[in-house]
Structure 1
């Protein structure tokens, strides 16, 4: 089978690889669509602490059952919750397996879906409805992250929201909150090409390179500050603005993963009695809600800006590591 293989820092290849053999508890899936995630970019840069070359990346995907599933017939369209949990640690046995003490993922800790075929645990495979395309189904994993962020922060319809970062996760968060009733959503994003897409989707944009972020947020919230400030950027320059732009007793939600510990103004957090929550992946319920959301909101497909054949593997990573209008880049294998 053809596979996109991470060979080392900033190096991938399109190579032939043996089709995985079905093993107990796992099923073989023919890949349809697979997205490049921020984690894949981290692996590509050689900066992920667990991923080791050679590796087939890819944990956001859809496909078709080939063999090994006890109830789903061959050809059934599916997606996969890629979390691999131990089932025995305290978080797992208390219903919080998404923060398993030894959490692993398909496409990071074992070969993933940037190949014609991929293995996945049977209990993590979800059949797709006829209303959901395979292309859009490959976006389900990042939408599940967004759903988890909304639920983790106890979002209430009508609350004002600022999202820092207009990439895939930022837009998934914004569109999820919009579908849940948010009407005043501001997205802070410096990439002018992305800003155009964000505005097409109907969101208020703030360019930190040309506008004063705090002034613009205060203007759009009548001087109060935002009810929710959500960090999907993960850039050190964003952190001071989180406590500045959220209202008194407002909520900050950290979705982005920081490579280095940032400095947080805890005194300002104290004076404003802020709540800061952190998001790590998603629960099984979040994943189910993401599927429901995608079936009802086809507009999410607008986040997918590029779908490439496997032969253009390098182009996909180049789009996301250089200045471009790319948001979600996918490969198509079927």
Structure 2
């Protein structure tokens, strides 16, 4: 089968691999589309702490059942909930397996979906609703991150929010806020291309490279500032304004993963009685909600998606590393 294999730092290749053999309680999926995530870029650069070469990456993908599922027939459109939890630690036993103490992921800790076929545990298969394309089905996982961030934040319809970063996760968070009835969503981004996509999606935009972020947020909120700020950029510069763009008793939500711990002004948290919340991945329910949002037709998610072939993988990863103008790159398998 055709596969995209991580071989070493900045070295991926399209190779022919054997179709996986199934063990008990495993399902074989014929992959349609597989997306490149930020964690895949960490793997590509050789900086991911767990991923080991050779590895078929990919934890956000769609396809159809090939064989092995106890109830879903061959050809059923599916995606995969890629979290592998231990089931034994305190978070798992208390109903929070998505923050398992030893959390692993398909496509990081074992071979994933950047191949024509992938095997997964049967209980990780999620059926894609009728009418949702396999292309959009491969985007359920990133949208689920946005759903989880908004649900966990305490957001209520009619609130205002600032989203830092117009990459895939930032735009997914912003889109979920819009879908759930935010009064206004303000996106802060320095990249001109991503700013333009955010504008096309209907968000208020602030150019982080040229605008005064705090003054611009105040202007957009009639001087009130926002109820929430979502840090999806994970860039140290965000912390310079994150606490200033939210109201007294507002909430800052850290969604992006920082490479190094940033400096945080705890005095602002204390003086304004702010709340700071961390987000890690998603829960199973978030996948179901994300599928509904994608299928609603209320947001043009196609604006974010770009499709390439496995043979182009080496060039695609290099282009993304250099900052190519693409929001979410998918491989069509």
Shift of 1:300: 4.4
Bigger mean CA deviation after superposition, 251-260 or 235-244: 235-244
Which position in structure 1 is the counterpart of 2:186? 186
Which position in structure 2 is the counterpart of 1:296? 296
Q: Distance in 2 between matches of 1:317 and 1:222?
A: 42
Q: Does 1:252 align with 2:244?
A: no
Shift of 1:324: 3.0
Which position in structure 2 is the counterpart of 1:98? 98
Q: Distance in 2 between matches of 1:172 and 1:297?
A: 14
Q: Does 1:222 align with 2:222?
A: yes
Contact 1:31-1:115 within 8 A present in 2 as well: yes
The two structures, once aligned, show a CA RMSD in angstroms of 1.1
Alignment map for 1:121-136 (pairs within 5 Å): 121-136=121-136
Shift of 1:298: 5.8
Q: Distance in 1 between matches of 2:76 and 2:285?
A: 22
Which position in structure 2 is the counterpart of 1:66? 66
Secondary structure of 2:151 counterpart? helix
Alignment map for 1:20-39 (pairs within 5 Å): 20-39=20-39
Shift of 1:18: 1.0
Q: Which runs of 5+ in 1 are unaligned?
A: none
Shift of 1:22: 0.7
Shift of 1:277: 0.4
Q: For residues 27-83 of structure 1, give each alpha carbon's deviation from its aligned partner in whole angstroms, at most 9, with x where no partner exists.
A: 010100010001101111111100011110000000011111111111111100000
Alignment map for 1:256-271 (pairs within 5 Å): 256-271=256-271
Shift of 1:301: 2.5
Q: Distance in 1 between matches of 2:176 and 2:221?
A: 20
Contact 1:172-1:300 within 8 A present in 2 as well: no
Alignment map for 1:1-334 (pairs within 5 Å): 1-297=1-297, 299-333=299-333
Shift of 1:222: 1.8
Q: For residues 89-120 of structure 1, give each alpha carbon's deviation from its aligned partner in whole angstroms, at most 9, with x where no partner exists.
A: 11111111101111100000000000111011
Shift of 1:239: 1.3
Contact 1:227-1:247 within 8 A present in 2 as well: yes
Q: For residues 268-318 of structure 1, give each alpha carbon's deviation from its aligned partner in whole angstroms, at most 9, with x where no partner exists.
A: 110000000000001111121112222213634324331011111123223
- Give the number of equivalent residue pairs: 333
Q: In structure 2, do the counterparts of structure 1 residues 106 and 303 end up closer, same or farther at CA, with 3 Å as the change threshold? A: farther
Contact 1:6-1:54 within 8 A present in 2 as well: yes
Moved >6 Å (runs of 4+) = none
Contact 2:179-2:298 within 8 A present in 1 as well: no
